Each structure stands twice: as structure tokens, then as C-alpha cells.
Structure 1
Amino acid sequence: MLRTLALAAAFAAAAVTGAQAQTVGLGTTKGGATAQISTALASVISGGSDLMVRPQALANTSQYLPLVDSGRLDFGIANYPQTSYAINGTGMSEGQPNPNIQMVATLVPFNAGLLVPSSLGITDIAGLAGKRVPRFPAGSLGDTVISAVLATAGLTYDDVESVPTANFPAMFQGVKDGTTDVTIAAIGSKPTFDIEAALGGVTFLNLKEGDGEVLDAALPGTKLRYWKGRKAAPGANDDTVVFYYPYTLFANKDVSDEVVTKVLTALYEGEAALKANGPLWAEFTPEGMAEVGSLPYHPAAIAYYESKGIWAGE
């Protein structure tokens, strides 16, 4: 009888351990702000639920979006413009829709701009004329962002010296090594601190009134904001004007309601833990997770937000 009870207890413990160790994959990139966001998500969700979140890092977002669409990855994170393009098969995903991707949460506003060494002596986008600018593969996120920002000053790649660049880590390294004069960067991200330390001073180039419309045409959901009154960060001061768009968490439509609910509960209740991960999370709020755009939401996410009284969708 004792042996039977011991075996039963062992099997029960194994079953509980198995349930606690349910692993879900989270698509992310290597390095940069996206990697920082995925690390924080994995830590807070794993610590606040019985899920084990494992970030799966690839070179760029376009590589893991199809993996989420096919169900080979459960979740992914990306900026709103790229998520919108991927779901609808437009822009950077022209002719390649990913209809099985559904929104789960809006995480934080992604505050970004073009960052240069302060020694370059320029403060606006027009000052990039004749400078060495990263040139990403056509149609990539980096290419779309840089082309759009240059256009705010009436510039194109013909007005700068293009430097072929494979991905964001290579872009960060290029400006540190002095092979380029500018990089895309998220305010408060780890790369900005690294670049500042390497160069001895950095400056975010200012945008101007009306530039938001130019950017929104290329990057849906993009707006401008002054950094005035916000937490100090490398390259940004009260006079800095940058752009921002929401950063999103999405899932394959077949991820179970139970798993989505566990993820959202951990995030909704984990505000302090998320903000402890650094300035990228400074503007996170549980209510902001339900920020509604034009993209489809996972049914479990809608149900969760309705239960909290924060769902504003149809």
C-alpha cells in the first residue's frame, strides 16, 4: 500500500511539474530594444504564471513573423507598423499576409529617432546630407524607417553616402566603429548607453511639425512627441522631438485561451516588475495593454480586457 501511495504521489508530482513547465516560444531579435523587451516579458510572465517563456532570437522581425503565423512560435513582439503590414500583407510584407496572427497586447510606446555622435555637430535630419548613412536591404524595417525619416527633410539615399548594413546589431556597431554617422535607436535602450560610452556624447536629431504625417504614411500609427519633462536619456533633452509608435505583443490564433489569459494576467499584475527592467518600460500601464487599433485581437485577449472593464473595441 505504501509503495502504491508513493508511486501515485510521484506521478502526481510529475504531472504538476509538467503543467508548471509548459513552455511557450516568443519571437524576438538579437540585441537592441526588441531583445530588451522580450527579456523583460519572459521574466515577468514566467515569474507570474506557470508558463515558461523562452525568447527565440532571430536576425530580424520579418524572420519570425511567419513562424508565429504558422504556429511554430506561439508569440512574437514587434512595432505596430510592422505588425500591421505583416497581418495585412502590405508595405514591408507586400503580397505576403499573415492572417493567423492576432493582437494580444499593446506594451509601450516605442520612442525612437536617428542618433548621431554629438561631435558631428548637427541637430536635425537635414544635417545628414552628405553623411554616411546605413543602407539596409530594400523593404526591410531599417530601410523603411531611414527612408521615411530622410524624406521628412526632403532627402533620399541619393543625398547621403550609403553604407550597406545587414541588421540592427551591425548598425549599432557601425556607428560605434565610426564607419557610419548615424543609427536608428530607441530612447533609453541599452544600445544608446553603449554608443554614448563609445563616442563620448550622442544627439537625437530633431523632427519638426508636419513630419508626423510623412512618417505615418510609411509607418502606420507613427506620431511625434517632445521629450520635455521625461526621464533623461542618452541623446535626448527637453528640446528633442522624436517619433513613436506602439510596440505590440501578438500570438498565433490557435494559442489556447488559457495560455493567453495567463500571459495577460502576469503582465496586468506585473507593472512594477516590468518597470524595474529599465526606462523602456517607463510608460507601461495595465490599462494601456488594451489600446485598440485596427488589427484583430485574440478572443481571449478581448474577454480578459472586458473582464477588467478596459476594452474599448467593437
Structure 2
Amino acid sequence: MRTKTTLPLVISSLAAGLLITSHASAMPPTLNWTAYGTGTSGNAQIMAISQLLQAEHGTQSRVIPGENDTMRMTPLKTGRVDLCACGIASYYGSEGVMMFARPDWGPQPIRVISTSLASFGLGMAVAGDVELDDIADLEGKRLAYLRGDDALNKAAEAYLAFAGLTWDDVERVDFPGYNAAFDGIISGRADAAITTTVTPAAQRLAASPRGLQWPELPSDDEAGWARMLETAPYFQPHDVTSGAGIDAEQPLASASYPYPIMVSNADLAPETVRGLITTLIESFDAYKDNAPGAKGYALENQDMTWVVPFHDEVVDYYRDKGIWTEAMDAHQSALVDRQALLKATWDAYQADAPDDEVAFIDGWMETRRAALQEAGLNPVF
């Protein structure tokens, strides 16, 4: 099971201001971002960070709202923006899968600057009238499948894998969308669906006659977590304190992944990245309470061995602070090598790829899988 950095002495020193560095990095006069739409916590966090960057560096921020993964990722791909406050699609882009398996996409040279891990989680919402002692009791139950939502369906697959189950072990019930799935649970046409714990849909189910329950994913179930991470390696154990029916005093042992994930392309100017990561870490107290979920950017929440590589300058910053270890460096190198392999495989595949989009995607996914397996790596998809 993946672990985050465990360097309490370094972290406490930073928090106490004992390791102070200058913010005099040559930040640009303007930073262009893309983020979730206005009114979302992700957008509010970037606005709070942008205000701090202006105060400390004089850097103005232009934030372009994007309502879906493609709208947020496209400006980064084309160079229209410097940074994306993205969701898990950033990982899919790095891997060249799902919507990024199309001919106009392919594996992207994405690098992490920072991530936010907030108090909510991604859980399996199960109707309260279903007999359920643990996640394995989903066997034979009616599980919502969302047409066109590969990311949430992959999350549901990962939850099933935790219990050693697959879609073949449940009754799959297809729905046209997210809200329709919860309407289906409330009306008795399904029993469970994957969701973030704080969504209005989960609140509606909790308030319905059927009620709501969340199966736990015990962090000490090493076999369960190994199966889950084999299916979706971007998850991590998380004690959830926010959500429908969840008592903050009795956290739910569940799973999560960062949101937002602040990413750039690999070639973003080092001085920009240094100024940004320095501000995010060393001025944390100045913005942590200025937007919902902003506390998630704390140093102790940064997973140094996650599934997308850090920008080189972020690595240098953590190394300078004494946080970066040899194990982290080996993991980083492996991720960079994986990206390079995927890009080389994509370039070679495109040279003689079919014109039909469906055939193109099928052929790419088969070629991608073969290349990763030949290198001894988990294709995941």
C-alpha cells in the first residue's frame, strides 16, 4: 500500500518557520489557469491561491472555467494555459486512456505541482435497507453503471476489486447519468452507486425512505487495498469526516484521491514552478482558510509516491528541504520512464494507425497494453 511522506520533523520545522526561503523567484507577471467552473470548491481554491500570488509576487492570474475534463485539459495541451486545477482526468491524460485515447490526444507530458486532499471521500453509496456488513456483501446487489462516465465506472470497479469482486458478481443496472442513478436507487431500481460523500445526490438518498450507508475499506486490509490499487492505483486510504450521514467525530474508513490536482506540462518554466511551490508550502497559513478544501494543500497531505510524476522543480524544492528520499526518487524516475515509453509507443502507433476512430482507439489500447506488459508494468486499463 502506498504511503505518504512521513517526515514530521521536517514538516514541523517548515510549519514553525524554521526553514524559511526567499520567495524572490522570478515569477511571471501573469499566470493562466484552467479550473472547475465558478461556484465549485476547486475554482474557489485557485482564486484564493491567485490572490496570494498577487500579494507576494505581483503575479496576476487569469482563470478559465471548464465544466468537464476535456474543457479543462485542452487549454493545457494547446499551451493556452500554464496550469490546470484538474481532476483524476490528469492521470488518464498522462496514461493516454479513456477520452485521451482518441487520435487527437494520446499520452500527455503532465507534471504535478501540488494536490489537495480534503475531508470528503469517494465512496460506495448503498441504500440503507440493504443488508451489508462489509463491501463483499455487494455480491448479487444491483450496482449503477453510468453510461459515458468511464471515471466513475472505473472507481466502482476498484471498489468491487477491494472485495475480490467484479462487475460479473453484481447486477449491473445502466443509467444515462449520475443523478438518474440516484433517482434509481431511491425508487428501488438499484441498490448502490459510486459518488463523492458530499454530493447533493448522496444527501437526497440519505433523506429518502431507503436511507444511506457507506461500506468501510479498512486501511489494514492489505490484500483488499492491493486489489483496489491494481485496478485504480490513484486511490489511497482516507479517513472521511465530511459527507451525508458521516459523523466527523467517527471518521469513515474509506478511499479518496486528490481534488484538485494542480498540474502543468513538463516544460513549464522552472522559476515559475519554484515560486509557486514555495508559496503553496511556506505561505500555507495565509490561504488555508480562504476557500473550502484549501487546507488539503498542506505538506502532510502531499503523496510523494503517487501516480503522476512531479515537475522537476518541485522535486528540487523538496530535495532542498530534506524531504525527498531515494525511494521517492526511484518512484519519480519510474513514472517519468513510463510516460516516455507511452509517448514513444503512441508515436510509433500513429504512423500506421487506422483512420476509423473506434478502430484507432481499440488498436491503441491493445498496443499500449502490450508495450507496458513487455516492460513489466501494470497496464491498469
Q: What is the TM-score of this pair, normalised by structure 1?
A: 0.69
Q: Distance in 2 between matches of 1:29 and 1:122?
A: 37
Structure-2 change in CA distance of 1:179 and 1:53 (3 Å):
farther
Structure-2 change in CA distance of 1:197 and 1:235 (3 Å):
closer
Structure 2, unpaired ranges of 5+: 1-27, 55-59, 330-381
Secondary structure of 2:217's counterpart equals: coil
Q: Which residue of 2 aligns with 1:65?
A: 73
Question: Contact 1:115–1:185 at 8 Å: present in 2 too?
Answer: yes
Of 87, 92, 105, the residue aligned with 2:94 is 87
Structure-2 change in CA distance of 1:231 and 1:135 (3 Å):
closer
The answer to whether 1:124 aligns with 2:134 is yes
Of 243, 249, 270, the residue aligned with 2:262 is 249
Q: Which residue of 1 aligns with 2:346?
A: none
Q: Which residue of 2 aligns with 1:274?
A: 288
Structure-2 change in CA distance of 1:224 and 1:255 (3 Å):
closer
In the TM superposition, what whole-angstrom CA distance separates every residue of 1:91-124 from its partner, at most 9, and x where no partner exists? 7755854333212123327732111342445353
The 5-angstrom pairing of residues 26-41 of structure 1 reads 26-28=34-36, 35-36=40-41, 38-41=42-45
Q: Which amino acid aligns with 1:207?
A: L
Question: Contact 2:33–2:83 at 8 Å: present in 1 too?
Answer: yes
Q: Which residue of 2 aligns with 1:199?
A: 208
The 5-angstrom pairing of residues 137-152 of structure 1 reads 137=147, 140-152=150-162
The answer to whether 1:44 aligns with 2:48 is yes
The 5-angstrom pairing of residues 208-219 of structure 1 reads 209=221, 210-219=223-232
Instruction: Note the C-alpha offset of 1:164.
Output: 2.2
Structure-2 change in CA distance of 1:125 and 1:233 (3 Å):
same
Instruction: Note the C-alpha offset of 1:40.
Output: 3.6
Structure 1, unpaired ranges of 5+: 1-18
Q: Distance in 2 between matches of 1:191 and 1:108?
A: 20
Instruction: Note the C-alpha offset of 1:250.
Output: 0.8
Q: Which residue of 2 aligns with 1:15?
A: none
Q: Which amino acid aligns with 1:156?
A: W
Structure-2 change in CA distance of 1:282 and 1:259 (3 Å):
closer
Structure-2 change in CA distance of 1:52 and 1:79 (3 Å):
closer
Q: What is the TM-score of this pair, normalised by structure 2?
A: 0.59
Structure-2 change in CA distance of 1:140 and 1:77 (3 Å):
farther
Instruction: Note the C-alpha offset of 1:251.
Output: 0.8
Structure-2 change in CA distance of 1:177 and 1:78 (3 Å):
farther
Instruction: Note the C-alpha offset of 1:299.
Output: 3.3
Structure-2 change in CA distance of 1:161 and 1:295 (3 Å):
closer
Q: Distance in 2 between matches of 1:291 and 1:205?
A: 28
Q: Distance in 2 between matches of 1:217 and 1:306?
A: 29
Question: Contact 1:112–1:243 at 8 Å: present in 2 too?
Answer: yes
In the TM superposition, what whole-angstrom CA distance separates every residue of 1:22-78 from its partner, at most 9, and x where no partner exists? 3522243798xxx42x2242132122012325252223x355334423323432244
Instruction: Note the C-alpha offset of 1:239.
Output: 7.8
Question: Contact 1:131–1:160 at 8 Å: present in 2 too?
Answer: yes
Q: Distance in 2 between matches of 1:219 and 1:175?
A: 25
Q: How many residues align?
A: 283
The 5-angstrom pairing of residues 274-313 of structure 1 reads 274-275=288-289, 277-278=291-292, 280=293, 284-286=297-299, 288-289=301-302, 291-293=304-306, 295-312=308-325, 313=328
Instruction: Note the C-alpha offset of 1:160.
Output: 1.6
Q: Which residue of 1 aligns with 2:32?
A: 24
Question: Contact 1:103–1:249 at 8 Å: present in 2 too?
Answer: yes
Q: Which amino acid aligns with 1:214?
A: R
The answer to whether 1:162 aligns with 2:173 is yes
Question: Contact 2:161–2:231 at 8 Å: present in 1 too?
Answer: no
Instruction: Note the C-alpha offset of 1:141.
Output: 0.7
